[in-house]
Homo-oligomer: A and B are copies of this chain.
Amino acid sequence: MSESPLPVPAAPSRAGSGFGPDISEVFGPHAADGGPDLVQLLTPEGERVEHPDFSFGTDLSGDDEAAMIRGFYRDMTLTRRIDTEATALQRHGELGIWAQLLGQEAAQIGSGRALRRQDFAFPTYREHGVAWCRGIDPLQLLGLFRGVDHGDWDPEQAHFGLYTIVIGAQTLHATGYAMGLQRDGDVGTGDPDRDAAVVAYFGDGASSQGDVNEAFIFAASYNAPVVFFCQNNQWAISEPIERQSKIPLFHRALGFGFPGVRVDGNDVLATYAVAKAALQRARDGQGPTLVEAYTYRMGAHTTTDDPTRYRLSEELETWKLKDPIQRVKAYLTRNGLADQAFLEAVNIEAEELGQHLREGCHALPEPSPLDVFDRVYAEQTPELAEQRAGYADYLDSFDVPAETGSPR
């Protein structure tokens, strides 16, 4: 597979008479199919197509390529299973809420698998597929949604930040982390095991936050090795993308002085190829890139949301035809690259994963109310220690051992 650098959009030409007063003439109405700039390598029907700038698998043998695509299929299928299972757990009252990724599997697996071990990813609250790629036990994702913790993996070990709920905040953290990589000399050395990049995930809605735009500015200013990976799933809760931007989001990068590219976020091959090129660009010291993964939130915003209030079911039907998993399955089976046994094995794995989640969720350790006091500071303060002691005494006064929780 070629490591071709990302195309840089040309500067807008000011000459000539082609300028009109109506911006839509230029940027066009927001194309429902992603627009002519969409990078796609696998059609919804499961056909491989070429793109002038990006390709998948050209650096792999046919076998390796097929194995990789089967891997994507497995990743996506298992990720979807995590999602379905967690949604069910929420319905059964085991989780307080769940943010579904349904429909965004390709965007997440494609980009997640393009990461090297030493790269670092900063997620929002919906990157269950990326977490999977980072080797995080999906059970660890449940704690936050069950309310037993605010996140339960070690970011430094997993090279995966904690879920961040304040929209856009993590894009600045990613940029700062990337600035740290620069200072550590881990960019542009040419050593593939050393050079590292950071990826910041965010949504279409998040693109409106000041923080995200400041992250663009800092990244451009310092040429930081960060990929801004926006999953444009068309909705920010009830608000359609048009409320945030009337032109394709990837254009945003242009105005900040770095490249932007729109990829079919339901096409795992294209997402992988584009993310890989953007990450390599970052690792090589060529600075930030904005990748807009054009996709669709097929589920509700979260399990507490009711999308029937604000969007038409036809829209969902159209997007179902572009399902990211179906197209890979079609490609693999139609071309004899995966047999029934393989598909069956993945299904069994999914079953096991589901069981793991169901059983594990119940068993997730309940938090202790006293732990809360110990985690505020690295160096505990006397006044908080005193508050803890006072609360422990109070709990004791109810004749219930403090460590086991509520007196009531």
Contacts and interface: CB of A to CB of B under 8 A. Distances in A.
Given A220-B246, A246-B220, A255-B252, A8 B37 contact: no
Given A214-B213, A217-B244, A220-B245, A14 B7 contact: yes
Contact of A12 (B12, B15, B28, B242): B12
Identical chains in the assembly: 2
Contacts of A37: 14
Contacts of A251: 11-12, 254-255, 257
B258 A245 contact: no
A6 interface: yes
Interface in A1-28: 5-15, 18-23, 25-28
A245 B252 contact: no
For the side of the interface on A, what is the size category?
Answer: 35 or more
Interface in A232-275: 242-247, 251-260
Nearest to A214: B210
Contacts of A10: 12-13, 18-19, 26
Nearest to A288: B23
A359 B18 CA distance: 56
Nearest to A16: B10
Contact of A214 (B19, B26, B208, B245): B208
B12 A254 contact: yes
A315 interface: no
B253 A255 contact: yes
A210 to B, nearest CB: 2
A27 B245 contact: no
Given A15-B52, A19-B53, 11 more contacts: A7-B14, A9-B26, A10-B18, A21-B281, A23-B259, A210-B211, A217-B245, A247-B256, A247-B257, A251-B254, A255-B256
In the A-B complex, the 5 residue pairs with the smallest Cβ-Cβ separation, listed nearest first, are A210-B210, A255-B255, A9-B12, A5-B21, A213-B213
